[in-house]
Amino acid sequence: MKSKIKKKKSKISLKNVGLLRQSLNSYPVNPVILFKTVSKLVKIHIRDTHAELSKNSENILDKTLLNNIITSVSGRRKLIFFRRQEEMCSKRFIVLVLIFVFPSFLWADAIVNPGFEFAVEGTDFDTPADWQYENYAAVVNNFESQGPNWEIDPQTGLNPFEGDSFVVLSNGNMTPETSYAKIWQEIIISAGQAISGAYFFGTTDWEPYHDYGTIKLIAPSGSGIADIELVNISVNDVGTYSSTTGWLTFQSELFTSATAGTYTLECAVYDDIDYMFSSYLAVDGLAIIPEPASIMLFIVGVFISARQKSKRS
């Protein structure tokens, strides 16, 4: 006669889940590993969601399910993955993963303040929140024409590409004069994603003084990955005292497993030869595509389909 083993079960603590979420938000999470983790949990759910599971584990989680939460990415305790030690996986656990873990996943790949809708108030100009900056980097909701040949309406000026504001970088506009201005932040790009955005370049200089603006991704030193130039535009491209015809857009090629990783996204404008006349680079609408939110919707769709399939079976 087989003896029945009664498993002791304990309800999951929302406080512990909150601490887990806080930990995830404190460190960048590797989205690829997290994606694989949740995919694995969905597969477990399909296998184990039977009548017995529905009756016995609707609101209960085996205490051994989270027995080993291991944190280590590049020696800095940034990667979180789950080791399943029991055969049971409740629907409540997967829902909690989607509610509490995925907010951190959404931010993992996202550009923070990509449309420059948030600013830090300054004495002479407001600077973009969540971006590092040097010299003149002003968040504005309109930018007037600065040159006689600028290709924007002199009455309305340059309005945001999207939203209510954008950032303008200038290699001048400060005392003492500067030769460049730039903003930057660290981002993570996964395989299958690309980066896009909008920019405007205008100058009060003339040839052969080729002031220029750039948007680029700078790879970590020693990573073996080359920097990626997204935009490079100069006086030579727009002409003397001139500008682009309003906003222009760019989009990178899709990243592969070889090129995906951590980069510094930098937008900058530079003087060439002298510091006497200013040039301007405006940036707006930066985005990583497809956005992590789209990936989450896909995961949620897989989860819902799995539930419906298990119910039919």
pLDDT digits (tens, 9 = 90+) for 49-74: 544 444 444 444 444 444 444 444 44
pLDDT of residue 136: 96
pLDDT of residue 297: 53
Least confident of 31-40, 208-217, 281-290, 301-310: 31-40
159 burial level (CB within 10 Å; 0-12, 13-18, 19+): middle
Maximal CA-CA distance, the chain: 96
Whether domain 119-290 has CATH 3.40.50.2020: the reply is: no
pLDDT of residue 62: 47
pLDDT of residue 303: 58
What is the residue type of 135? Answer: N
User: If DSSP codes are grouped into helix, strand and coil, which group holds residue 92?
Assistant: helix
Is the separation of the CB atoms in 132 and 183 below 8 Å?
A: yes
- State residue 21 phi and psi, 5-degree precision: -65, -40
177-215 per-position pLDDT tens digit? 889 999 999 999 999 999 999 999 999 998 888 899 999
Residue 284 structure tokens: 């707006």
Measured at the alpha carbon of residue 56, what is the angle toward residues 51 and 58, in degrees to the nearest 5?
90
Percentage of the chain lying above the pLDDT 90 cut: 49
Q: Say yes or no to pLDDT of 87 above 50.
A: no
More confident residue, 108 or 207: 207
What band does 103 get if pLDDT is binned at 50, 70 and 90?
very low
Crossing angle of helices 31-48 and 102-109, rounded to 10°: 150
pLDDT of residue 34: 52
Distance CA 291, CA 10 (A): 36
Distance CA 148, CA 156 (A): 15
Question: Mean pLDDT in the chain?
Answer: 75
pLDDT of residue 2: 37
What band does 22 get if pLDDT is binned at 50, 70 and 90?
very low
Q: What is the DSSP letter of 99?
A: I
| pTM given for the model | 0.63
More confident residue, 183 or 107: 183
What is the residue type of 242? Answer: S
For the chain, residues classed under CATH 2.60.120.260 are 119-290
Which of 115, 140, 114 has its CA nearest to residue 125? Answer: 140
Q: Say yes or no to pLDDT of 265 above 70.
A: yes
More confident residue, 257 or 293: 257
Is the separation of the CB atoms in 189 and 255 below 8 Å?
A: yes
What is the residue type of 311? Answer: K
Percentage of the chain lying above the pLDDT 70 cut: 58
Question: Rounded mean pLDDT of 157-179?
Answer: 93
Report the DSSP beta bridge partners of residue 189.
261
Q: Say yes or no to pLDDT of 31 above 90.
A: no
pLDDT of residue 38: 53
pLDDT of residue 313: 58
Question: Rounded mean pLDDT of 226-235?
Answer: 97
Q: Say yes or no to pLDDT of 295 above 60.
A: no
